[in-house]
Amino acid sequence: MSTKLTLDIVTLCGSVRKDSFNAALVRALPNISGGDLNFKDGPSVADVPIYDNDLETLSGFPSIITALAALIREADGVLIVSPEYNYSVPGGLKNMLDWVSRTPNQPFAKKPVLIQSVSGGAIGGMRMQHHLRQIMVFLNARVLARPEIAIGPASAKFDSMGQLIDAPAREAVRAQLTEFAAFIREQTPH
Residues forming the site for ligand FMN (CB under 6 A): 15, 17, 20-22, 83-87, 118-121, 125, 154
Q: Which residues contact 13 (CB under 8 A, 6 or more apart)?
A: 20, 22, 23, 26, 41, 42, 44, 45, 81, 82
Nearer to ligand FMN, 20 or 176 (CB): 20
Measured from the CB atom, is 49 or 120 closer to ligand FMN? 120
Work out how close the CB of 31 gets to ligand FMN at its nearest, in angstroms, rounded to a whole number.
18
> What is the SS3 assignment for 90?
coil
Give least dist CB 32 to ligand FMN, A. Answer: 17
* Residue nearest to ligand FMN as judged by C-beta position: 121
In whole angstroms, the minimum distance from the beta carbon of 118 to ligand FMN comes to 6
Nearest distance from residue 60's CB to ligand FMN, in Å? 31
Task: For residue 117, give the nearest of 98, 142, 93, 141 by alpha carbon.
Answer: 93
186 and 52 Cβ atoms separated by less than 8 Å? no
